[in-house]
Amino acid sequence: MTFTLPELPYAHNSLEPVISEKTISFHYGKHHQAYVNNLNGLIGGTEFENSDLDTIVKKSDGPIFNNAAQIWNHNFYFFSLTPEKGSVPSDKLLNAIKTTWGSLDNFKAEFNKAAATVFGSGWAWLVKDDDGKLSIIKESNAGNPMTRGLIPLLTFDVWEHAYYIDYQNRRPDYIAALWALVNWKAVSDRY
C-alpha cells in the first residue's frame, strides 16, 4: 500500500509558543514526510508491499523498520498533542498513574528524567502491558514499544529535530514545556 502523511488535527501555528510553526514546517513537513516517501520507495517488491503500518513495524528490520516506525511514532506523537487548554487524564488513567508513581506530578518528573536521558536520538514512552500495568520506557532511534509487546499510550520525541529550532540544546526545557500540549483525552482513550 502507499502511505501518506496524515493531516494534523490542528493549525500549524496553534502549538506556539511551545512548538513554533517553523518547527512544524520542518519536523512534520520535511522529516515526517521524508519517512513516508522513503517507506513507499522501499516496500515495493518486498513481503511488506501490501502490509499495514502496524504489521511492518512489528515484523520488519533495517531501513524498512526505521522508516515505518518513524512514521508510526510521528503519527502518534503529533496526534497526542492539542492546542486546547484544560486537557486532563481520565479518572481511570489518573488512578493508575497514582498507583504507579504516587501523583501526576511525580509521574511527569519520572517521565521528564527518562526523556532527558535518552542518549542521542530517540523517544520516551508511557506504555501499558497486557495486564494494564503502566511503565515509562526509553527507545533509541526509531524504537517502538510494540516490538516488545507493550501498548503505547504517550510519547515525547526527543530527536534534536523536534526541538532544536525552538530550544537549541535545551532538551529539558522542551520536555517541560510539552506537557502543556498533551492531549490527555487521546492518551486516556488508549488506556
Starting from the edge strand earliest in sequence, which strands make up the sheet with 134-140, in order? 134-140, 122-128, 151-157
Q: CA–CA separation, 119 vs 114, rounded Å?
A: 10
Q: CA–CA separation, 176 vs 159, rounded Å?
A: 15
Q: Minimum CB separation from Mn ion for residue 159, in Å?
A: 4
159 scored as a contact of Mn ion (CB under 5 A): yes
Q: Near Mn ion by CB under 5 A, which window of 98-106, 115-123, 158-166, 171-179?
A: 158-166
DSSP state of 134: E
Q: Minimum CB separation from Mn ion for residue 157, in Å?
A: 4
Q: Which of residues 138-157 bind Mn ion (CB under 5 A)?
A: 157
β pairing state of 151-157 and 134-140: unpaired
Q: Minimum CB separation from Mn ion for residue 39, in Å?
A: 15
Q: CA–CA separation, 75 vs 157, rounded Å?
A: 11
Q: Is the Cβ of residue 111 or residue 191 nearer to Mn ion in the bound state?
A: 111
Q: Near Mn ion by CB under 5 A, which window of 47-55, 108-116, 118-126, 162-170?
A: 162-170
DSSP state of 5: P
Binding site for Mn ion (CB under 5 A): 157, 159, 162
